[in-house]
Structure formats: C-alpha cells, structure tokens
Structure 1
C-alpha cells in the first residue's frame, strides 16, 4: 500500500538524522580525534547485531567464498576510505557544509560512469548536465566563502566525495545478492589509534561511552533502514527521501551545534541541494 512507502521513508529519516548528529557529537564536540578506533567500535557492535539479526531471521545472510571476498576487496577499500575520510570531514565541518561536499560525489559518479560506458558523454541529458554543474559549482565555491575555513576538513571532504563516488560506481557494476558483513569487517582497523586513544580524557566518561554505543546502534538500524528503503522503493523515490533526510539534518543542526555561516556559504548549501533535486528530477524523466 502507498502508506507503507511513507512509513519506510520516515523510518529512514528517523535514524538518519540522529545517526549523523551522534557521530558529529562524538567527533566534534567531544573532539575524539581517533576515527579508526571509533569506526572499529561501531563495526564490532554492528557485526554482533547483524549476526543476531541473521539468527532471528530479520535479515537474509549468506556465506561468501574467498573469490567473492577478493572480488569485493576494491569496493571494501573504497568503503573504508569513504567512511574514514567522511568522519574526518564531519569532525571539522558543519553538517550543512559536509552535505554540500557529500553531494558532489554525484559528479564523480557521473563522470566515471560516462568513462566506463561506450557512449561517453553523448547520452547524458541537458537537465543532468545542469544539475551536476550546480552541485559541482556549489562545492567548489563553498571553501572560498566559508567564514571558518578549515583546510583539513575540506581536504578530507574531497577524499570522501571521491571515494563515495567511486564506490557507487563499483556497486553499480558489482551488485551483491545478500547483505554481507564483509565490508563491516574490513572497516574495523584501529591500527595505532588504539594506543593514542588512551590519552583521550573522556575515554572512560559516561558521555563518551553512551555516544559511542548510540552511534553504533543508530548506524546499524540506519543500515537496515537503507536496505529496506532501496529494496522497497524506486531509485528516484529513495533519492528523494535521502534528500529530505539531509534537509532535515541541515535545518535542525543549528539548534544542536554551533556553526558560523554567512550569506554566501548558505547560498552554496541551498544551490547544492537545488542541484540535488534537479538530479532526482532528471533521473525520473529518463525513466
């Protein structure tokens, strides 16, 4: 029924916004500068919950062969790069600015897709060109007008959008049939952060531990909600719910986090999301 689609979308929004807010709180407000350890903790909780969900029959899981794991290795590396760089960027940038850079991953995706396909750029629609151009110009202009320019944040943001765009291309050409824990397992790589993190003053605090647990739980349920959203709705409907979730997060973030935004940087954010709407509309026309 039609109302079930709205329930699925609203459920996705319900987990999307607090998930990003919790990650931002731990990485930015508490200034926990060890994202690999934070990611490893999230992975541990996520894998345990995923295995439990598989036992209870909530999700469909299957074993994978060594050859399948090796074939997914490039995608896993892109996934890890996407998450790590995204965490670094989110820690330094306001949520609105982070999503403006995040939207530019569509430019990388479209460019790489056109290079892979034989038709090159001849089959791309005019609306698609306009929308991608608006998103790209917004992302390029944002650092020039950011009143609190953070070079590290934007550097990690560029790495994030490139990794995300390339990962989407990989997903398009290699689609798994079942929900797999492979990416989650390979995402856990604390490395040297494990030793440096012991110097973190909030490591044993209730706020930090609660934030980490909440982030892991919200991330897991967001994963399930994303799978449900993409399996039950058409791609343009999924993209519209993702767009609405980001707009909700941007509108609510000033009430939770302090950020310095001026008129030009706000215009970059607005035009980026106008370009995103045009992207959704162009995909709908092509269908």
Structure 2
C-alpha cells in the first residue's frame, strides 16, 4: 500500500507544478492581470466540475445545509482574499520569491495559534519560524526585480493563507468534508468576484485585452481552471491517505521542484543575496515540517 501513497504524492506534485506554471504563464507572460475575471473563471469551472462529480458519484459530497454554509463563510472570505491577492502577487513576482513570501503564512498561523493556545513551542520550530520571517523581511531589499505592488499583494496573500489554515484547524463543525468546504468556497468566490469585476475595472480592461481572441490565451485559461480542480482532488486524495505532516512534506517537495524548474520556463533575474533568502526560507520550511512530524506520537 505504501507505493500507492507515493503515486498519490507524485501525482499531487505534478499537478501542483503545472498549476502554478500555467497561472504564472497567463498572468505574467500573457499579462492577463484581471484577477476578478481570472479567478472567477477558475472558481466557476471548479464549482461546476465539483458539483457534477458529486452528482455522478465520482466524489463523496453530502447536501450542504444553510447553517453549515453560513458558519463556513469566514473561511470563504479568507479563501477569496487568498486567491485574489495571490494572483496579483504572482503576476508581478517570480515563483521562487513568491514561495519565499508565501512561507511566511506559517508565521501568521504560528502567531495566531500562540495567542489562542499559549502553549510551549519546540526550539526547532521556533528557529524555523524565525528564519522564515527573516528571509521574507530581507528579500525585498535584495530582489533585483522588486515590485512594491507585488510585495504588498503578497503580504495580504500570506496573511489570508495563514489565517485560513488556522480557521480550518479550529472549525468546530464536523458536518463539512474538505470537498464540501471547497464547494462553498467556489460558489461564494464566483458570486463575490462577479460582483467585483466591474467596480475594480477588470471587466472594462479585459474587453480591451489584446490577446482575448488568442488560441494560446484560451488554452491557458482552460488549463488553469482544470488544473486547479485536479489539484483540489489530488490534495484531498493525499490527505485521506496520509497525515497532515506527510502532506506538508509533499507540498514542500512540490514547491522546491517548481522553483528548480521555473528558471528554465520563465525569464528571471536573480542575484546571490535574493537566492540566499530563498534557500534559507525553504531550509527553514523543511525544518518546520520535520519538527511537526517529530512532535507527533508514533
């Protein structure tokens, strides 16, 4: 049975890398920087595919009650903030720097957990958290392609990711599975992003987008939506067969793979100082994953 877990992990890694590369290609190479439309399209397709899969019996989904959906709305708000700010940041920041900043979401989660529980922290975990934070603080000073707007959106992205992680852990109801939670996220995102498309100017700007009729653009958008849905299924499958600590290992390996391959796909300008920040951040993340595995019984 162990080999099945490895296959699930490898499938997750492949979809993870392809998903980020496709999103980066559409946002940066094709310059489609209209996140309400881009993420609205992705979440709409995700919702349709998820509901269709549940209807056909391909995935297990129960009927979502109104009270359960309402209780999950704070998580949906954080989810929308995550994908909206993440798109803004990814369109302006290279993938290695983006993941380095995203790692700081662990700092946000740690601070919130610390305030809520006030429990004693392992020394190794504390060291890793501090290294992740220092790497993110120093990275903007050394990044040769520093973009103020991109880094500000990355800050909001990492905050929403960290807070969403805490909300998932502390969500008390057992009535919603991971797929049902994501279904609420998708439907809420479609509604909110659709309402925001005109006030943000994305709708008007997209109508004048030069590549709107491009075959490459259409393929990229369709691929991004499909890969986002497949990444959800791969994540749920991986979580069902492994502990959260081992899921963290596969996420870490997938990010390292994406960072290693990204210079071969996208043009990047990296110096030694920014590369050092990236390396330190991900070494610290490896220590964090190890400390969380080591702290589990058995």
Q: Is 1:225 matched with 2:222? A: no
2:168 alignment counterpart: 171
> How far 1:234 moved relative to its partner?
1.4
Q: Distance in 1 between matches of 2:146 and 2:50?
A: 39
1:285 alignment counterpart: 294
Q: TM-score, normalised by structure 2?
A: 0.93
1:57 alignment counterpart: 57
Q: Distance in 2 between matches of 1:214 and 1:285?
A: 38
SS at match of 2:59: coil
Which of 144, 148, 151 matches 2:145?
148
Q: Distance in 1 between matches of 2:145 and 2:15?
A: 29
> How far 1:44 moved relative to its partner?
1.8
1:107-155 deviation digits (Å, cap 9, x = unpaired) = 00011011111xx1x5111011001001111111100100111000100
Query: What are the equivalent positions in structure 2 for 1:194-209 lying under 5 Å apart?
Result: 194-209=203-218
Q: Distance in 2 between matches of 1:243 and 1:177?
A: 24
1:205-252 deviation digits (Å, cap 9, x = unpaired) = 111111000000001000000011111101221111100000010000
Q: Is 1:271 matched with 2:280? A: yes
> How far 1:185 moved relative to its partner?
0.9
SS at match of 1:153: helix
Q: Distance in 1 between matches of 2:204 and 2:226?
A: 25
Q: Can you give the 5+ residue segments of structure 2 that lack an aligned partner in the other structure?
A: none
Is the CA contact (8 Å cut-off) linking 2:82 and 2:160 kept in structure 1? yes
SS at match of 1:33: coil
SS at match of 1:137: helix
1:262 alignment counterpart: 271
1:251 alignment counterpart: 260
1:15-50 deviation digits (Å, cap 9, x = unpaired) = 000100000000111111101101111122111211
Q: Distance in 2 between matches of 1:77 and 1:52?
A: 24
> How far 1:178 moved relative to its partner?
5.1
Aligned residues: 284
> How far 1:259 moved relative to its partner?
0.9
- Structure 1 segments (4+ residues) deviating >3 Å: none
1:141-189 deviation digits (Å, cap 9, x = unpaired) = 1001001110001000000000110011100011633522110011121
Q: Distance in 2 between matches of 1:77 and 1:30?
A: 28
Q: Can you give the 5+ residue segments of structure 1 that lack an aligned partner in the other structure?
A: none
Q: Distance in 1 between matches of 2:228 and 2:11?
A: 13
Q: Distance in 1 between matches of 2:33 and 2:15?
A: 24
Q: Distance in 1 between matches of 2:41 and 2:204?
A: 14
Q: Is 1:242 matched with 2:246? A: no
1:48/1:145 CA distance change after superposition, 3 Å: same
Q: TM-score, normalised by structure 1?
A: 0.97
Is the CA contact (8 Å cut-off) linking 2:178 and 2:236 kept in structure 1? no
Instruction: Kindly report the root-mean-square deviation, in angstroms, between the aligned alpha carbons of the 2 structures.
Output: 1.1
Q: Distance in 1 between matches of 2:138 and 2:239?
A: 32
Query: What are the equivalent positions in structure 2 for 1:19-98 lying under 5 Å apart?
Result: 19-98=19-98
Is the CA contact (8 Å cut-off) linking 1:69 and 1:182 kept in structure 2? yes
